[in-house]
């Protein structure tokens, strides 16, 4: 039988939590409450849809392999040069390729215990060694389960090639401020690439200090940021993410890029979505308002909610979590179980629309009524 490489032998395939295709067959649209994948319930800008329709006449052509127009638009948005941008088939692809490019068999990769799941996957696939740093404790006063930046800096050795961080992080929702991150960067040796996953950056409140690391790029050529169109822009189905880094780092990554990794309709739709800043702002505000309402609703029910600056909340349901989750599933409510992260007492709940959140809470009241 085919034998995978040592790193790949230890891997499990990505698990989206539930078989959503089966769910959609079992439940009608009005019964199903899909809050398991941190998607944007409002969808993309109408301009993005129109741009896709416009592309339908040229599906027989390969897209621009470099995605030059989208890179130019992104460069303008972020105040960087186009050669500092790399496009990916979702930011997941870029996170994987970063390990492939910079970490190998004799190298260490550092990340936090509850850092995004792809960090572990990418490290193992590259055959490198995981240095998993304990998170802040679950009774931490402000940032339970968050990244412990001091401990992460201390875990870096001569063998470390890469550090992965997410701000805000999934699945915890936790974040750290720019000053704390700048102090962290000052401790990181120049040979270590620091990957800052900012998939949820657009959803953070301006006053929450979950600030982007973008301003640090000009002084740190070993810093790479990743962003995505899957969350705030509501384009998860198109699979587009991007990386921002020093031109030299981007040039190395371009060697690994598959030809035409981002398709034509996706390139056009993302460029159009960038132009509709009003839609982005609208979705951000709805999300922020519903995130607060949802967290308060859980707290009123005596459930602990970790602080969040994203479009989801991590809720502690306690020892009965697996049973509660199974009962919610039976009612067509899909949340994300956290057993794979080693947090079996928690469920991750995506912030939905007013109506979805209302149906979610009704199902939860129903189930809690039986359990309590």
Site residues for ligand PMP per CB under 6 A: 38, 90-92, 116, 166, 170, 197, 199, 228, 230, 236, 241
Residue among 166 and 360 whose Cβ is closer to ligand PMP: 166
Residue among 250 and 367 whose Cβ is closer to ligand PMP: 250
Residue among 119 and 317 whose Cβ is closer to ligand PMP: 119
Residue among 334 and 363 whose Cβ is closer to ligand PMP: 334
Query: Which residue number has the CB closest to ligand PMP?
Result: 90
Supply the minimum distance, in Å, between the C-beta of residue 365 and ligand PMP.
28
Query: Residue 14 to residues 303, 338, 359: CA-CA distances in angstroms?
Result: 29, 14, 28
Supply the minimum distance, in Å, between the C-beta of residue 100 and ligand PMP.
16
Residue among 92 and 257 whose Cβ is closer to ligand PMP: 92
Supply the minimum distance, in Å, between the C-beta of residue 199 and ligand PMP.
4
Supply the minimum distance, in Å, between the C-beta of residue 197 and ligand PMP.
5
Supply the minimum distance, in Å, between the C-beta of residue 283 and ligand PMP.
16
Print the SS3 string covering the chain.
CCCCCHHHHCCCCCCCCCCHHHHHHHCCCCCCEECCCCCCCCCCCHHHHHHHHHHHHHCCCCCCCCCHHHHHHHHHHHCCCHHHEEEECHHHHHHHHHHHHHCCCCCEEEEECCCCCHHHHHHHHCCCEEEEECCCCCCCCCCCCCCCHHHHHHCCCCCEEEEEEECCCCCCCCCCCHHHHHHHHHHCCCCCEEEEECCCHHHCCHHHCCCCCHHHHHHCCCEEEEEECCCCCCCHHHCCEEEEECHHHHHHHHCCCCCCCCCHHHHHHHHHHHHCHHHHHHHHHHHHHHHHHHHHHHHHCCCEECCCCCCEEEEECHHHHHHHHHHHHHCCEECEECHHHCCCCEEEEECCCHHHHHHHHHHHHHHHHHHC
Residue among 229 and 363 whose Cβ is closer to ligand PMP: 229
Supply the minimum distance, in Å, between the C-beta of residue 95 and ligand PMP.
6
Supply the minimum distance, in Å, between the C-beta of residue 51 and ligand PMP.
19
Neighbouring residues of 121: CB distance < 8 A, sequence distance ≥ 6: 11, 14, 96
Supply the minimum distance, in Å, between the C-beta of residue 334 and ligand PMP.
15
Residue among 170 and 212 whose Cβ is closer to ligand PMP: 170
Residue among 160 and 170 whose Cβ is closer to ligand PMP: 170
């Amino acid at each position: 039988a085919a034998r995978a490489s040592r790193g790949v032998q230890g891997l499990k395939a990505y698990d989206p939590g539930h078989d959503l295709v089966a769910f959609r067959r079992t439940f009608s649209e009005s019964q199903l409450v899909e809050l398991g994948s941190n998607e944007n319930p409002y969808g993309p800008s109408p301009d993005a849809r129109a741009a896709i329709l416009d592309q339908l006449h040229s599906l027989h052509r390969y897209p621009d392999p470099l995605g030059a127009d989208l890179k130019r638009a992104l460069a303008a948005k972020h105040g960087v040069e186009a050669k500092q941008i790399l496009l990916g088939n979702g930011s997941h692809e870029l996170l994987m390729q970063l390990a492939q490019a910079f970490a190998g068999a004799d190298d260490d990769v550092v990340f936090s215990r509850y850092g995004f799941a792809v960090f572990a996957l990418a490290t193992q696939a590259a055959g490198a060694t995981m240095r998993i740093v304990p998170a802040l404790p679950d009774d931490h006063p402000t940032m339970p389960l968050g990244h412990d930046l001091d401990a992460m800096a201390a875990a870096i050795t001569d063998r470390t090639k890469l550090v992965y961080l997410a701000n805000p992080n999934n699945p915890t929702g936790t974040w750290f401020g720019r000053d704390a991150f700048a102090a962290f960067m000052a401790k990181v040796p120049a040979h270590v690439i620091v990957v800052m996953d900012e998939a949820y950056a657009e959803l953070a409140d301006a006053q929450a200090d979950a600030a982007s690391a973008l301003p640090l790029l000009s002084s740190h050529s070993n810093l790479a940021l990743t962003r995505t169109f899957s969350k705030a822009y509501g384009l998860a189905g198109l699979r587009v993410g991007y990386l921002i880094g020093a031109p030299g780092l981007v040039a190395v990554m371009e060697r690994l890029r598959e030809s035409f990794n981002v398709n034509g309709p996706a390139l056009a739709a993302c460029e159009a979505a960038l132009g509709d800043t009003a839609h982005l702002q609208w979705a951000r505000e709805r999300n922020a308002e519903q995130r607060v309402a949802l967290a308060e609703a859980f707290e009123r029910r005596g459930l602990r909610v970790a602080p969040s600056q994203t479009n989801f909340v991590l809720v502690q349901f306690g020892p009965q979590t697996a049973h509660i989750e199974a009962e919610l599933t039976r009612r067509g409510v899909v949340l994300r179980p956290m057993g794979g992260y080693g947090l079996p007492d928690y469920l991750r709940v995506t912030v939905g629309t007013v109506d979805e959140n209302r149906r979610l809470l009704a199902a939860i009241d129903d189930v809690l009524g039986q359990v309590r």
